[in-house]
Amino acid sequence: MVVSKGNRLGAWTFLIGAIIALVFGVFGTMTLGVAWLLVIVGLVAGFLNIGDEETKPFLMSGAVLIIASALGQQALEIIPMFANILNALLFIFVPATVIVAIRNVFGMARR
**71 lies in which domain range?**
5-110
pLDDT class of 7 with cuts at 50, 70, 90: low
Q: What is the pLDDT of residue 1?
A: 44
Residue 66's nearest CA partner among 39, 41, 38, 86 is: 86
Q: What is the pLDDT of residue 4?
A: 54
Residue 92's nearest CA partner among 29, 14, 23 is: 14
Q: What is the pLDDT of residue 5?
A: 55
Close Cβ partners of 59 (under 8 Å, ≥ 6 residues apart):
97, 100, 101, 104
Sign of CA dihedral 46, 52, 53, 56: positive
In angstroms, the CA 95 to CA 111 distance is 25
Q: Would you say 46 and 13 are in contact if contact means Cβ atoms under 8 Å apart?
A: no
Q: Decide if pLDDT at 33 tops 80.
A: yes
Instruction: Provide the number of structural domains found in the chain.
Output: 1
Q: What is the pLDDT of residue 96?
A: 92
